[in-house]
Amino acid sequence: MKIAKILAAATACAALLAPVLCGPPAQAAAAREVPLKEVPAPGGDGTLSRDIAGGSTTTVAAAPFTVQVSFDSAGTTVGCAGSQIAAGWVITAKHCNSASLRSVRLGTSYLGTGGTVRSVAARYPAPAGDVLLLKLSTPYYGSYVGLSSSFPATGTRARVYGWGDQSEGSGAMSYYLKAADVSVVWQGVDNYGGPSVRTRSQSGHTLGGDSGGPLIVNGKLAGVLSSSDILPVPNPSNYTGYYNDHASVVRNLAWITSVSGVRGS
């Protein structure tokens, strides 16, 4: 089983946009998926599933700060999610960092269409932890999410958002924004060895394309999705019991504030 997981993780890394996104070789041995993949156009299989890894569809009105991180200037080659924390700043996962990361799409419920596209003027990877700050070329005056200044307690209910794959290994992201419930388990380790908020999936499980997406606790951003357990094949109908690690916002808060000027609350 361990060997199978390592091979699955290695296959996922081979499909990424650039080698840097896979992280150090030691991370592959951890048998946890780095859920970033280059993705085909929405609905590449001719269908648009509304049952995304057990999650439920929602609209951007429920999480107006949620953004798509794209590996082209047009905002159509989406590979990660992120959150807007100020008019000129988006936060996502460091393993999404690449020379081809060019733009973000904001203010839309739909993958690769609608809303507003902003070019990325600069990228700031955290010195420790799977966190990346993106400075937008032009400010976007939308809705921003506040940064949590405390680590969530074990058992706290939380919510995640993204446009990730509809099933493990499918490579087909959802055309619709999805949401899922998770619960906080304890402090874990993110994809770069930094502290994470470890969660357990309750109503859905984050997959490829959800990297960098928000973990919302009590209305605040508590984490940035770093990695998720690889699901068995065929995927289970019950998604409870699988784990995710979200790079901790509060553990990186001093650095986030020093770069962006955004403080926790």
* The overall pTM is greater than 0.85: no
Tell me, what's the pLDDT at 40?
31
Start-end of H helices in the chain = 2-14, 25-28, 253-260
> Amino acid identity, residue 89?
W
User: Are 187 and 211 in the same domain?
Assistant: yes
Span 26-41, average pLDDT = 33
E strand or H helix at 82 = strand 78-86
Interacting residues of 1 by C-beta distance below 8 A, sequence separation 6+: none
Is pLDDT at 36 greater than 70 in this prediction?
no
Tell me, what's the pLDDT at 172?
86
Is pLDDT at 38 greater than 70 in this prediction?
no
**Residue 15 pLDDT level (bands cut at 50, 70, 90):** very low
The radius of gyration computed from the CA coordinates of the chain, to the nearest angstrom, equals 16
**Residue 240 pLDDT level (bands cut at 50, 70, 90):** confident
Give the chain's mean pLDDT. 83
Structural domain that includes position 233: 147-249
User: Are 141 and 156 in the same domain?
Assistant: no
CATH of residue 167? 2.40.10.10
Tell me, what's the pLDDT at 29?
26
Tell me, what's the pLDDT at 191?
95
Provide the 10 A C-beta neighbour count for residue 263: 12
Question: Which of 9-23, 71-85, 139-153, 239-253 is the least confident region?
Answer: 9-23
Question: Which of 3-17, 129-143, 152-166 is the least confident region?
Answer: 3-17
**238 within some domain:** yes
Provide the 10 A C-beta neighbour count for residue 215: 30
User: Are 226 and 185 in the same domain?
Assistant: yes
| pLDDT 10s digits, 80-100 | 999 999 999 999 999 999 999
**5 within some domain:** no
Q: How many domains does the chain have?
A: 2
Span 48-60, average pLDDT = 66
User: Are 97 and 124 in the same domain?
Assistant: yes
The gap from C-alpha 53 to its chain's centroid, in whole angstroms, comes to: 15
| pLDDT 10s digits, 179-223 | 999 999 999 999 999 999 999 999 999 998 999 999 999 999 999
**Residue 32 pLDDT level (bands cut at 50, 70, 90):** very low
What own/partner pairs with CB < 8 Å and gap ≥ 24 does 4-11 have? 5/31, 5/230, 6/31, 8/33, 8/169, 8/230, 9/33, 9/34, 9/230
Q: Which residue has the higher pLDDT, 86 or 170?
A: 86
